[in-house]
Every structure is written in C-alpha cells, then in structure tokens.
Structure 1
C-alpha cells in the first residue's frame, strides 16, 4: 500500500520532466525572422523573396529588408532567398544559426555572372545552368551604350546586327548570325505578338524605359516558340515594379551639327506596403527632325514623332502565385524624302507612316512546390496595329495606303520535376493573326489570316552531376501548311569543373509561306516603287542549326571574368529568295519571293566579359560566311551566291568605370566589316554590287550623379557622343532617281547628346 501512495508523485515528476524536455522543442516551433542585405554595401533589399523549401511558407522582405516566417515547425530547415538582379542563395537554419536575427547577404548578379534566364527552357534557371547559350542585355548596358530604343541596345551582343535598309523611311531589321530579320522570332514577355507589320519599324518603337532585360538565344528555336525562329529568339522582358520610385529624363541630341532629336521619358513605380502588389509605368515623347547628310534636300534619316505609354502591374494572391497585367500604347509618325513642309503626295519622294499600336497581356503563374520544380503558367495576349502610309514618288496622289493587323496569342505550360535529376515541361499555345494591307494606287491588296496551334514538350535531364541533357520537340499546325510541322532539338551541357563548360546544340526551325515584314516595305528606286510579290507555289522553309561552345568564367567577391568561344552552323533548305520579276503595267519594279535551293550560314563568335565593383567590360567578335548553294538573281541578269548586306566580320565592345561615388564614364563601339551591297540603277547607269568600306563606330559618355540630400530627389547629368570619328556612308545616291535601299554602315553620323534625370 505504501508503494501505491508514491505512484501519483512519480507520475507528477514524469510529467514535469517531460515538459522540461519539451521546452527546447517548443521554442524551435516559433517564427523565424531576419534581414536580407546587399553583400557589398550592407543596404537592405526590399522585395526579396524568402521561402522555406518543401513547404508553402514564405515571406517578402519589407522596405527595411526584414522578413518573418510564421508557423515553421521543423528545428532544421532550408531557406531560399532570391531577388531580381541578385544571385539566389540557400541558407541552412538550425540549432547553430538560431531562428532570430538572421542576416542573409545577396550578391549582385552582374558581378557573379549568375543572371536568371527563362527564354531557353521556359523555366527560370541560372544562366550557367542552362544547356543553351543565352545572352542578356540589361538596363546597365542600355545606360553604358546610350541606348534609348531596342534597336540601339540589342546590337551589343555577339552575332547580332541592326541595319537601316531605307533612306526614305528608316526601315530597320535585326540580323542574327547574318540572317535577315524575318528569320528571327521577337517575343514580348515570352508571347509571340510581334507581328510582320510590327517587324518593319518596331525595333525603333520599343523604348528601353519599358524593358527590364532582353534575352537572346541564337539558333533554331522553333522547338519552343514555333515558326520564324530560324536565326534565333529575342525575348523582351518588360519592367516589373520591385520598389516605389519616380524619375523623369529630358535629353537633346544634335546629329552632325544638323538635325536635332528631343526626348522626354517618365518612369514611375509603386509597390504596396506588404509588397504583394505593384505597378510600373513608362512614358516617352520624342521629336526628331530629318537629317540630310549630302545636302541634296533629300533625307538620309527620317523625321520622327513618337509618343509611347505603358504599364506592367502584378498582384500576388499568395506568396507563391502571381497575376500579371501588361499594357502598351505606341504611337509614331515618321517621314522621309523631301519637301517636308508639304503633304506627302506633294513631294518628289515621300515615305510617310503613322502607326498606332495597342497591346497587352494577362498572365497567371503559380509555384506549387518549393523543394522541387512544380509550377504552372497561363497567358492571354493581344495586339492591334493600325497604319496609314504613303509610299510614292513624282507627286503621285494614289500612293496612300492603309494597314490593319490584329494578333491574339494564348497558351500555358506546366513544369514538374519527374525526379531529383529530371525536369519536364509541357505546353500548348494558339496564335491568330489577321493582316489587311491595301494600297489602291499600286493595286496591292493583302488579306492574310493565319492560325497556328502548337504543343511542345521537353526534358531537362541531369544523369550525372557534371552533365545536363535537354531534349525537346514541338508539333505545329499552321493554316498555310497542309501537314503538321515537327521541330525537335537537343542540347548538351558538360561541366568540366566549376569554371569551365562545354555546350553542344542541335535545333530546327521553319518559316511558313506567308507575308513577312520585308514584304510589306515598298522601296523607291529611280522614282518608281519596288514591290515584292509572293510566288503562288511558295512552300515552307526549313532549317537545321548546330553549335558548339567552350565557356570559362571565374568569380570571387571582388571581381569576375570569363569568355565564350562558339562555332555555329545553320543550313536553310527551300530558302526564300527574291528574284527580278520585271515591271507591272504602272511601271513599278517587281521582285518575286520564291523557294530557291539551300543556304548555309556558318562561323564563330568570341564573347569576352569582366567586371569589378567599379568597372565592367564586355566585347564580342563574329566571323562568318553566308552563302547560297546556287547563285541567286538579285537584279536582271546579275547573280550572286552571297547573302548580300552581310559582312564577314563584325563586333562590339562596351566598358564603364565608376571612378567616384558620384561620377562614372563609359565607352562603347561597333565594328562592321566590308560587305557586298546591291546598288540599283537610277542615279547610277546600271545595277551593280558595291563593296562597302569597314566602319568603326566609337561612343563615349560621362555621367554625374548628384545626391541633393534629405528628402530631395537625386539629380543625374549625362553628356555623350556617338560615332565620335563620324564614320558614316559617303556615297549616297542623290535626288529623285536615287536607290533608297543603297544604305549601309552606322545608323547615324556623329551625334552629341546631353540629358538630365531627376529621380526620387
């Protein structure tokens, strides 16, 4: 009985002992808090995403960089921290680190070379972890190179050139690896709404204030993005708000002491206190007078009026989901020729175009898990472009035209880790485009409706630690092609060590027999129009691209350097070619677009890069050959097996130096080697090929940042000069009989710019 009396006391002791043992465990079940800061400056990083891997628990750092993670029940776990412009990091949390007062440091991606990219795989990955070479143009490069539009900045990448193809209207096109603009797919936030009509002048209509970064993937990209991606894919990623701010910039430029160019741009961002919602707005107003280089009263650079507005907003229903809305309105009036004080039809030569572009998209993305790839995205995009135009000579009142283009694109994809070493992506999309183009005076009527339905799949497999294999394919049904089109690709990444990598790629592309941007442009030759017609039996153009590259990079907390050497090869079968097709009944010159034989583009690129906390440098050089298997008749009775207007050697460089906390300087340049340029009769007696000179275009700028202190805004004053040595074409045709397409070399002469920016 005495022993029984001690039982309640024993039970009470056991309960107390259990509670004491449980107290440390309970302490480990409270919230986790800390601060996210910049590795170098120690400044807080508001907007950084903080998630606990393997759970749905997460937070966004507030305006002071602080974060709190609630309801974390594990005593040991991993936190992943990421932010735009910084390298992602993972932190192990446990008994040794504690759960309170964590300080997590992020390093800027510019220095580490750890940029996040999405275009190559449709999933966000570090640039060095992708089996495909992805080149990036960001706002720093835009600033260092004095770039104000997409056409200005995108040339500072290996294998890319932007050229002006018309004195009268300023038609520009982007060449990737020497192939014409119609061979490239341009995306806005991954959506294919950049139509054929937008491609004629669109590169100059997109301001850099709208852009977060541009990702470029060279080589066939039809396996992910469908038609036209033969030369490569350019993805313009619009700016997203990550902190509240406002800035306005006013600038004035003088072209070779003659024409002036005025610009005012406004950018403002707002982010809610809980950082779950934000909006970024941009606006641009531009006015440029025409520039006449050879004083013949006919312009070489067009008169331009531009007014653009846009916004991108986001809402996070939860930490791991996001709803995004994007809208843009681009309005542009451009004109070249002569007699600008008169109406277009009262000029001897005039090309006048007034564009109104309205577009937007809505997208929803949801990360379904944090410890593995498991995410879904859906989008709907639309764009409407209307254009009034005049392409005429000899004061012809019948050369006015109207164009209307409507594009709708919708789709989605799902990405999931099949295992710890294999990520799968499946997707489908639909694109509808209708183009109506009418010029009564030339009897040109186009009414083209295209529907493309596609589905794709890919596997990103890592069989061993040092190897990544990316395999994918896409099936497209194009309304102009009878049979479905299959586009496969394969990419291999070999990590030789932590600093060196080898990439091997093989991919395909196609272009359907439809009207493209170059077909809508009307060129003036000898006072008459030059029109492009499509052959009735025009068939699909196909391509095979392969490349191999060696990449080496090294980084530590103080500096980063690296280089990439790549060889590339693209073969186009049933290539689209233009041949002389005589004249129509009105005396206009005709070119016929038809299928030819094969064409081969091959070459090599060298990409150099280095940076410290105060300096940056990058440069690229491309050596290439671009030829048709069979000579092509580029003018009546004249043949060439060369892809014309394509130099065999070209490159760029860009460098900057922050030599004081308030001052920096930048230099950049573009080299364009000699090339064969067609020169049509009119001003000259007969058609002939000209061999152009080589051009060096050197640029420099000086930037002064004045912090006014307190609650006052920051003031930035910048002066710059483009084409310092005035390397510009010197043999333009003159007068009404000129060949407006005989233009090559730098897109502008020596230009001096001064700007002032107020930011808050």
Structure 2
C-alpha cells in the first residue's frame, strides 16, 4: 500500500505539471536593442503569473500553463504590448517600442546607429513625413522651400538667370554644408554645383538637419552642418499610390507620381516626376528672373529582406534637365547674339544598402553608390562640357554591449572629372579619399550620454586629416535636455563648390576658371562648438511646448577663396583659387519655439549670426569684413490651423543686417506666405499656396543687371527675384 501511495503521488505531480513550462525572457528596446530594466512580464488573464526584468533585461516565468499563448510586457516610457509565446526558442526576445512612437516616433539615420532623436547626444532637427506630405503639394518641384523655413538655414540664390540655389548654415558659405541622400555623399564637386535642391519632396520620408561640425561622420565638408535627405521605403503589403498635379502663376507645371508596396519579403518604391517651367521676366528689364526648366526624375528602389536578420535594397536615380536663362529676346530667337545661359545635364546614380545582424547585439552594414554626372553649359557664348564619375563605398560594424553602441568602419570616395574639348582652361583630375572612423555612443547613466568619434582621412592630393569629435547629452530633469558638441573639420579645394565669389566682380563661370595650383593651395581646417538647451513638455490641458536655445562657434583657418588672376581673356581677368590671408569666424545663437494645442500649431525661430573675416588685410591690422550674403538676423514663424477637412497656414520671415562685399549693407526685408488646403477621405487634397505675398524683389531696391545685352554684369543676389508666386496643386492618394 505504501508503494502504491508513493506511485499515486508521483502520477498526481506529473499530471499537475503537465502542460506547464518555464520561460526565460529578455526585454529590449526596439531600436537600440538595449536591455529594458524593470519591465513587467505577465500572463494576460487570471491567475496572473508575472515577474520583473533585471539589469540585463532578463526574467523567468515558471509554471506557465500551456493554454497561455501570449504575454503582456510593460515598462515606463514604453508602449504596453502583447507578444506570442514561441516555446522553440531558448530565450524569448520581446522588443518594446518607445511611448513616443504614438506621437510619431522619429528615427535618425544620419548618425548610422538608427537611434531615436531624443536619445542622441548630438543635436538633430528632423522634418518628418507630415512635413514632406504638406510640402509635396505646396512646392512640389524642390525641397528648398521647406529647408528655408528653418531659421538657422538661409537659402541663397547663386545666379541671377539660371535659378540655382545653395544652402548656408551658421552664416558660412554653401560649400561648408554637406548634403547627403540616404546617408550617401552624392553631391560633391562638379556634380553638386547645380540643381542639388531640385529634389521633389513627394519621394521623401524625412530630412535630417545636423547643426555644426560633423565631419567625423562622413569626412570633409560638414563644417557648418549636414543635411541628410531620406527616401521613403515600403511599409505595407497594400499598394500605396500618390499622384500630384501643380500649376503656378510663374508658368511652372509639375506632374509627380509615387508608388509603394511590400510583397512578403520584397518591396518596391517608384517615383516619377516631370517639371516644365517657362522663362519669365518679372521685373521688365528684359532678363529672365525665372529660367526655363524642363526636368525629368525617375527613382525606383527595390527592397529584399530574406530573413529577420538580413535586409538589403538597391536603387536607381535618373535626372535629365534642360535649363535656360538670360536675355529673353535671345531665348525667343529675336536677338540671337544677346546673352544666354544654357545648361543641359544628366545624372545617373545606382546605390545599395545591405545589413546583416550576426547576433542580437551586432550588425554589419555595407553601402555605396556609383554615379555619373554630365553637364554642358554655354555662358557668354562660351561652351564648357564636363563629366564627373563618383564612387562611394562604406562598410561598418555596429556592436551593442552594456551601455555602449560602438561603430567601426571605413569608406572610399572617388571623384573623377573629365573635360571634353572646349574653350575652358580646366584640367582633368581624380581625387581619392580613404577614411576610417570609430564612434562610441555611451549611455553613462540615466542623465548622461556621451558620443565620441575619431576619423582619419587620406586624400591623394591634399594629404592626411585627423578629425576628433566629442558630444555630451545631459538630462538634469525630465523636461530639460542639454547637449554640447566640439568637433573638427576640413574642406579640400575644389573649383566647383565655391559658389560665393571671394571678392566683388570675381567671376565663377567656367570659362574664367583656372586650374587649382595644388602645390600652393592647401585644404581648409576648422574647429567648431555647439551647445543646445531644450525644454519639452506636454501639459494635462493638451498644450505641447518645445523650446530650443542653441549657441555655436566655428573657426576656419586659411579659407580657399576665388580671386583675380594675373592673366586675362576676352571676358576679363581669369579667376584662381587661393588661400586667403585671413581666417573665418562665425558665432551666433538660434532660438526655436514650437507650441501645439488642439488644432493649432505655432513655430517661432530667431537666428542671430556674426560671420566675418579674422586676420590681417590691406584694410588695416585686423580685417573685420563681414562675410557677404550671410544675414546676421533671420526671424521665421509659421502658424497652422487644422480643423476637420481643412488646413490653413501663414508664414513670415525677416532677413536683416545682410552685407555684400566691403561691408556694404543692403536693405532688410520681410517675406510672407500663406496656404489653404482641403482634404477629403484621406484621398484628395487641393492646395492653394501663395509665396511672397507682398511681392518683395531685389529690383525694388536696385538695378540687378547692367551693361550691354551681349555681355551684361549682374549684381550679387541678396533678395528674391521672382516676386509673388501663386500655385494650385491637386493631390490624390490611394
């Protein structure tokens, strides 16, 4: 009987434990894969079985009935989520999404760690998907308008007749701002001197603006800041299709279309766009204030995720453009010998990005791009014809361990310019830069994070460059964040990136350029510091307040500038690049305020920058000449109201204390814009937009063009030329 009783107890115990199991669980952050401490893991119904994760994000649940198919995971700062139980795994890994994701979580790709914007030690401002959706109907042809709304960015028009624009950040010349497309530096040298901002926003997911010196990330050039233009990716197995038609009073027509869809493990995005803009003389002086532009864009991108650990994509981008400006009767054929500026260009780019997670904490990434750029330009009846082939390859390894994210990598950049037989004196060149970099993101504690980086570049013509950088993020209390960053940079001499002349009347047209004297012209080197104090809080009333106060400082040694050469041609003196006998100093403040309440949104931005030469000159023992075309004061504001089915917005900008050459001050001016949108069933949008409501033009203050129509002289461009622009756009999304 005793033996039978013992056997009965064993059978009862066995049947009681049948269908129960013990689970080892790890809870991670969905983006960083860092362990989530003190997360609660429990069964969804009574009787509740639960536990809390330790410092490694691990916990164990015992005696879980086999009937339980899911577990509920919650943690402070994260969305509460349910996860299926897969008993085949030794350790179940559950990844929580930040609670901010419900407020449109923003992930930054430019820093290579794909971190949330609030986690970064370096200051990044992101114009997200909502901004791109709005801008695609307001200004469908380019991204310059939405970038110009940021107070620290000033869009400078670099030509009176061909409509080209460039970006100034922190008061520095356009060449000190690096522009990336999907984390790839595609717009360097000859390929970046025209039409870079002619990128339709319908194809874009977001634009990331990194302020200050970040050359450690991608190499030379990012001295004033960096802008990363990020393409969309397919997000749903349901097809998404968007078509847009636009017509402006400046005789511009845009037709853009975008398609996106996932097919299981594969996906596709496809953008096609056409712009037709007629030449227009707004001021009546006979010259085109808005050039003729015919542009075609085609951008397919293919995605393939064979496993949960491997992803890859490959894209192709094609741009064909004809641009023509000058004396309008010459364009119309009635005065063929008068001045014309004609440009034909083609840009082909193939890019790829592949990554593989070798473990839960390690990822390898390979990416690169091959592009060709061909430009033919006729200016002052002189032809220049050149091609540039560019190559960028990068490999990096991202390792997460403890509180660190360590990324180590190397990249190769090749820029090969070849001149076709023409009248210019330019020579062929091939620049190669091999670089290695290391960056560590260290979450020291709950209130301190550090990002340290180091890059070593070797340029085949201009030598070696060592670039250290350090950024610190402090979180003294919940609504406050303080970021400090110090970094170095460099910029190699390049004939095609000096978009602002170094002195008055010095011409940068190709027929007047002389080759670089590489034996005597050296690369520029810089040091920069940024500080940002941010306050972000949402009150119980629903009012959201964001305030950022930034301070910045940049010093550039022996900048490369354009100057008159001793030789001359029938167009006048040639232009050569030299190292200036002075340095550049830029320092300033930037204030950013955003208020959101119910259906209202208000943005206020004020930027004050002092950019000047620093060093000896012929003007005296110290040269305090202000940098030309760099406004010292810029104020921007936007007010938007979005009731049901409608959206109304007004914008205003003030540009003040702007100087030309030799400290010649120009007039201050205001710029106003307004837009009204009607949307129905998330499918149809009708947008009426008006830019420059009060018709501000540089011609209101001075004569822009002088001299004979065969060889005119143009004043530096410091204000709008086209005046008021009204456009109407219809957007359909399926």
The residue aligned with 1:386 is 374
CA root-mean-square deviation = 3.5
1:176 has 2:165 as partner: no
| Cα distance change of structure 1 residues 590 and 642 upon mapping to structure 2, 3 Å threshold | farther
Structure 1 residue 751: deviation in Å? 0.8
User: Residues 177 and 677 from structure 1, CA distance in 2 versus in 1: closer, same or farther, beyond 3 angstroms?
Assistant: same
**2:180 aligned to which of 173, 177, 187:** 187
Residue in 2 that maps onto 1:327 = 316
Give the aligned partner of residue 594 of structure 1. Answer: 578
Match of 2:498 in 1: 518
SS of equivalent to 1:675: coil
| Structure 1 counterpart of 2:106 | 115
- Alignment map for 1:230-629 (pairs within 5 Å): 230-243=223-236, 244-255=239-250, 260-272=251-263, 274=264, 276-338=265-327, 339-341=329-331, 346-370=336-360, 373-392=361-380, 396=381, 399-419=382-402, 421-438=403-420, 440-441=422-423, 443-482=424-463, 484-518=464-498, 531-533=512-514, 534-536=516-518, 537-555=520-538, 558-581=542-565, 584-596=568-580, 597-612=582-597, 614-629=599-614
Change (3 A) 1:108 1:327: farther
Aligned equivalents of 2:355 and 2:187: distance in 1?
22
Q: Alignment partner of 1:15: what SS?
A: helix
DSSP-derived class of the 2:149 partner: coil
Asked if 2 retains the 8 angstrom alpha-carbon contact of 1:697 and 1:746, the reply is: no
For 1:141, the equivalent position in structure 2 comes to 131
Q: Post-superposition shift, 1:674?
A: 3.3
Matched residue of 1:641: which SS? Answer: coil
Structure 2 partner of 1:714? 683
- Aligned partner of 2:39 in structure 1 is none
Alpha-carbon deviation of 1:123? 0.4
Q: 1:341–1:222: structure 2 CA closer, same or farther, 3 Å change rule?
A: closer
| Distance change in 2, residues 1:564/1:290 (3 Å) | same
Structure 2: which 5+ residue stretches go unaligned?
A: 37-58, 65-69, 86-93
Distance in 1 between residues matched to 2:536 and 2:278, nearest whole Å: 45
**Are 1:631 and 1:641, in contact at CA under 8 Å, matched by a contact in 2?**
no
TM superposition score normalised by structure 2: 0.84
Q: Per-residue CA shift, 1:227-277, capped at 9, x if unaligned?
A: 11111111111111113211111110003xxxx1111111111122x4x32
Q: Gaps spanning 5+ residues in structure 1: where?
A: 31-47, 55-71, 82-86, 96-101, 679-687, 708-712
SS, match of residue 161 in structure 1:
strand
**Match for residue 166 of structure 1 among 153, 159, 170:** 159
Q: Residues 296 and 574 (structure 1 numbering): CA distance in 2 closer, same or farther, change over 3 Å? A: same
Report how far residue 201 of structure 1 moved.
1.7
Evaluate the alpha carbon distance shift between residue 432 and residue 79 of structure 1 in structure 2; reply closer, same or farther with a 3 A threshold. farther
What is the CA-CA distance between 1:336 and the residue it aligns to? Answer: 0.7
Matched, 1:695 2:669: yes
Q: 1:507–1:52: structure 2 CA closer, same or farther, 3 Å change rule?
A: closer
User: Is the Cα contact below 8 Å between 2:501 and 2:562 reproduced in 1?
Assistant: no
CA–CA distance in 1 between the matches of 2:575 and 2:71?
A: 64
Matched residues, number: 674
Corresponding residue for residue 696 of structure 2? 727
Shift of 1:203: 2.7
Q: Do the aligned partners of 1:621 and 1:649 also contact (CA within 8 Å) in 2?
A: yes
Q: Secondary structure at the match of 2:194?
A: helix
CA distance in 1, matches of 2:507, 2:390: 36
Distance 2:575 2:677 in 1: 48
User: Residues 601 and 639 of structure 2 are in contact (CA less than 8 Å); yes or no, is this contact kept in structure 1?
Assistant: yes
Instruction: State the match for 1:657 in structure 2.
Output: 641
SS of corresponding position for 2:21 = helix
With normalisation by structure 1, the TM-score equals 0.81
Aligned partners of 1:748 and 1:300: how far apart in 2? 6
Q: Give SS of 2:698's match.
A: coil
Q: Distance in 2 between matches of 1:14 and 1:568?
A: 75
After superposition, the C-alpha distances for 1:369-403 in whole angstroms (9 at most, x for unaligned) are 44xx42221112111111121111xxx4xx12211
1:218 counterpart residue number: 211
8 Å contact kept, 1:575–1:598: yes
Asked if the contact 2:625/2:663 (under 8 Å) is kept, the reply is no
- TM-superposed CA distance for 1:668, in Å, is 2.1
Structure-1 separation of matches of 2:306 and 2:578: 52
TM superposition shift of 1:222 = 1.4
Change (3 A) 1:201 1:90: farther
Deviation at 1:530, TM superposition (A): 7.4
| Partner deviation per Cα, 1:151-193 (whole Å, 9 max, x = no partner) | 2221222311111121122231111111111112111111112
SS in 1 for 2:245: strand
Q: Cα deviations across residues 527-555 of structure 1 (Å, max 9, x unaligned)?
A: 99873433441001000000112111113
1:656 to partner: Cα distance: 2.1
The 2-side partners of 1:248 and 1:227 are apart by 38
| Separation of aligned partners in 2, 1:553 and 1:695 | 32
Q: Distance in 2 between matches of 1:107 and 1:670?
A: 35
Q: Is the 2:177–2:222 Cα contact (8 Å) retained in structure 1?
A: yes
- Quote the residue 2:659 is aligned against: 676
Tell whether the 8 Å contact from 1:519 to 1:532 is kept in structure 2 after alignment. Answer: no
Q: CA deviation at 1:346?
A: 2.9
- Secondary structure of 2:550's match? strand
Q: Shift of the alpha carbon at 1:504?
A: 1.1
Counterpart in the other structure of 2:632: 648
SS of 1:128 mapped into structure 2 = helix
| CA apart distance, 1:284 | 1.0
Distance in 2 (CA, whole Å) between partners of 1:354 and 1:745 is 26
Residue 313 of structure 1 deviates from its aligned partner by 2.4
Label 1:510 to 1:528 Cα distance change in 2 as closer, same or farther (>3 A). Answer: closer
Match of 2:11 among 7, 11, 15: 15
Query: Deviation string for 1:485-510 (max 9, x for gaps)?
Result: 10000111110111101111100110
CA contact (8 A) 1:163 1:172 kept: yes
Q: Deviations over 1:448-488 (max 9, x none)?
A: 20111100001112222211111110000111123x21000
| Structure 1 position 642, deviation (Å) | 1.6
Contact 2:512 2:571 (C-alpha < 8 Å) held by counterparts? no
Partners of 2:607 and 2:635 within 8 A in 1? yes
Q: Against the structure 1 CA distance between its residues 142 and 623, is the aligned structure 2 distance closer, same or farther, given a 3 Å change threshold?
A: same
1:44 alignment counterpart? none
Instruction: Tell me if structure 2 keeps the 8 A contact 1:150–1:203.
Output: no
Conserved 8 A contact 1:167-1:302: no
Q: Measure the CA separation in 1 of the matches of 2:32 and 2:100.
A: 17
2:88 alignment counterpart: none
- 2:569 is paired with a residue whose SS is coil
